[in-house]
Structure 1
Amino acid sequence: MATSGAAARPPVATTLSARRGTAPSATAAAASCPASSARRTTWRPRARLSSGNAARARARLLRVEASSMADPVEESLPAAPHTATDAPLETQPQVRTSMWNWKGYNIRYQYAGTSGPALVLIHGFGANSDHWRKNIPVLALKNRVYAIDLIGYGYSDKPNPRELGESFYTFETWGEQLNTFCAEVIKSEAFFICNSIGGLVGLQAAAMEPQKCKGIFLLNISLRMLHISKQPWFGRPFIKSFQSLLRNTVIGKLFFSAVATPESVKNILCQCYHDTSAVTDELVQFILQPGLDPGAVDVFLEFICYSGGPLPEELLPRVKCPVLVAWGEKDPWEPVELGRAYASFDTVEDFVVLPNVGHCPQDEAPDLITQKARTAIHLLDTVSCPSKLALPSTTSAPEFFNSEHTSLIRSGQLQLPLVPFV
């Protein structure tokens, strides 16, 4: 087990086979989920920003002329030379797993690769580092890649929140965990690649210790639409009462028991994956199995009752590194119509829509995301933004989603999940 003084490659590690992202039960999974249309792997032009900030960003990043129909991010540098099937299986780097001790807790992480910039892959709610199993070995061909289980998730320890207080399972805690991981295990600055609530963890870590993060690539970051500030004032007391009911009565544990079954997990994943053939039995087990550990139910209930803390629109102005945002256009949980608003932040260098992809692009479209991640890393590594360090936010949290967005949500035209798992 790696201790707080461990080297970047811990001497004690269990070798894992580098999982390739095959889907042996794809046919069966597709049969049990709603049908989905075929996904294109081409990119359409990103939505252009009308602001001067966007124009300066395009010039700074050497983008193509506005008349070009090619994706501006791709045109600014050569196409990525590898996809998930480029390298023979025997030449792909070995993926290893190890445990790191943080504040007396065991934290699982996976790693591969021996050279190149360091990447940290950060999972979403209810998931773990196995959600990046299709990306790790391919990204490791040119990078040092680490995928971490946030405390409370995966095979990391799950301390009881009742013994630690309501302030433990927060983005501040996970941000501190991530920064300490960079300092003690990676021993260098790193790029963060994040999905869903993992995006808030990455932003929080970068805001807390800017020197640890070189850049952030966000995939369908959580909008946190159940945040208390985004609820009508008259509904807030009822939210508090419902949260107390879940935390302090048997109802919460019954609710978790109903959700933590293979059938429920598969149904939830089929909601957020546009290509439901990617929802395999293997994936269901990767998500479900750690959730059956002792203590998982308390962590689950603690987070779904966590309606405070930071919002993406509050963290983005505090981040000093460049940020790229990619969004699956078929995400039913975090609608791309709302996500586009993040393109207006000065820190965000580009916003790209991923056609025919849902909430978890890294698992649903791994070849596409691995290629885009390589491009993003190169791009983020070439961008510096010293002029942005002191810029205040031009978008305040209460006004970020306007009344039209709110009415769409309340009318049901924008569907929000009660319990997003990833």
Structure 2
Amino acid sequence: MAATTRAPKTWTWKGFKIGYQQQGNAGPAVVLIHGFGATWGHWRKNLPVLGQTCRCYALDLLGFGASDKPKPGAEIDYTFETWGQQVADFCREVAGSPVLLVGNSIGCIVVLQTAVDNPDLVLGVCLINCSLRLLHDRKRSELAWYRRAGAPWLQRTLQIRQLGYFFFRKLAQPNVVRKILLRAYRRPEAVTDELVEMLMEPAGDRGAADVFLAFTSYSQGPLPEDLLPRLSCRALVLWGSEDPWEPIAAGRKFTEFVTVDRFIELAGLGHCPQDEAPEIVNPILQDWLERTSLSLR
């Protein structure tokens, strides 16, 4: 089925406009959460397929995509607790029932935070190439010395307003975004003009640079290993074996948690396999959704 390309719908949360897309009107509810710098459109190849048997929603986190980008600190704090509350309220107000949550990258941390804070609301979670948060204060000691020293310096530099804005403008260029994607993906043919434009468009929104800079300095909050043991539901983990940012060897350690039912290696894929190879990921998600829904009846 063709990818969803319709304009997003709008939901209002705490006075802020939130973008989302929906496919399917029957069956269990599943909510898809994107990664850093992405949008609901990163699920455009998954929505039509999952929507055949589910009420499927893809949500833009506050600060990203078609959602508003209020000023960090002055209007809202961009933390996983904030986004977890946003997702939970969306599930209650829009989905209107307990849900299954699927995340990619930092979206996985949002999914876990939502599930831990709202055990009555989340029936199961799927984590796709979960962010390991390697620049977290508690993780830096594990990095090579040059990364351990360089990351705090870069974070401090980017907090200088003019330098931070300059860096964001240089980063938010089509050729730079394409190079980043070609590193994150292992199938270069998946890095299309459509994908680059989709990720570039929100970068022109008022407040986009402030959100980017706020998150690059966020080295606190939860780690996945803090949240996984606290889940009251079960987790499925998918991992592209060629992810350059979140090494699969570290991801495999998730199997040590009793809340993780299965760990599936996606051979030859990178950081965003749901977009890079939907023909592989969609059947896995469909099977998981069906099995989880049946087990809860």
Question: In which range does the TM-score fall when normalised by the shorter chain?
Answer: over 0.9
Mapped contact 2:135–2:151 kept (Cα < 8 A) = no
Q: Aligned AA for 1:315? A: L
Separation in 2, partners of 1:376, 1:344: 20
Mapped contact 2:115–2:122 kept (Cα < 8 A) = yes
Correspondence 1:12-411 to 2 at 5 A: 20-21=2-3, 97-164=8-75, 168-232=77-141, 239-240=151-152, 242-383=154-295
Separation in 2, partners of 1:246, 1:366: 35
**What's the % identity of the aligned pairs?**
46
Could you tell which deviates more after superposition, 184-193 or 155-164?
155-164
Separation in 1, partners of 2:157, 2:73: 15
Q: Aligned AA for 1:329? A: S
Deviations 1:121-143 (A, max 9, x none): 10000000000011111111101
Larger radius of gyration: 1
Report deviation, 1:95: 5.8
Q: Aligned AA for 2:64? A: Y
TM-score, length basis structure 1: 0.66
Select the structure that is richer in strand: 2
TM-score, length basis structure 2: 0.94
Separation in 2, partners of 1:290, 1:150: 12
Which runs of 5 or more residues in structure 1 are unaligned?
1-18, 22-92, 385-422
Separation in 1, partners of 2:149, 2:281: 41
RMSD over equivalenced CA pairs, Å: 2.0
SS at match of 1:110: strand
Judged with a 3 Å threshold, the aligned counterparts in structure 2 of structure 1 residues 328 and 241 are, in CA distance, closer, same or farther, namely closer
Aligned length: 293
Judged with a 3 Å threshold, the aligned counterparts in structure 2 of structure 1 residues 293 and 355 are, in CA distance, closer, same or farther, namely same
Which runs of 5 or more residues in structure 2 are unaligned?
none
Mapped contact 1:107–1:155 kept (Cα < 8 A) = yes
Mapped contact 2:28–2:293 kept (Cα < 8 A) = no
Separation in 2, partners of 1:379, 1:223: 27
Kindly indicate whether structure 1 or structure 2 has the higher relative contact order, using CA contacts under 8 Å at least 6 residues apart.
1
Report deviation, 1:20: 1.9
Judged with a 3 Å threshold, the aligned counterparts in structure 2 of structure 1 residues 159 and 382 are, in CA distance, closer, same or farther, namely same
Judged with a 3 Å threshold, the aligned counterparts in structure 2 of structure 1 residues 284 and 94 are, in CA distance, closer, same or farther, namely closer
Separation in 1, partners of 2:282, 2:87: 22
Deviations 1:40-99 (A, max 9, x none): xxxxxxxxxxxxxxxxxxxxxxxxxxxxxxxxxxxxxxxxxxxxxxxxxxxxx9967311
Judged with a 3 Å threshold, the aligned counterparts in structure 2 of structure 1 residues 280 and 346 are, in CA distance, closer, same or farther, namely same
Separation in 1, partners of 2:5, 2:106: 28
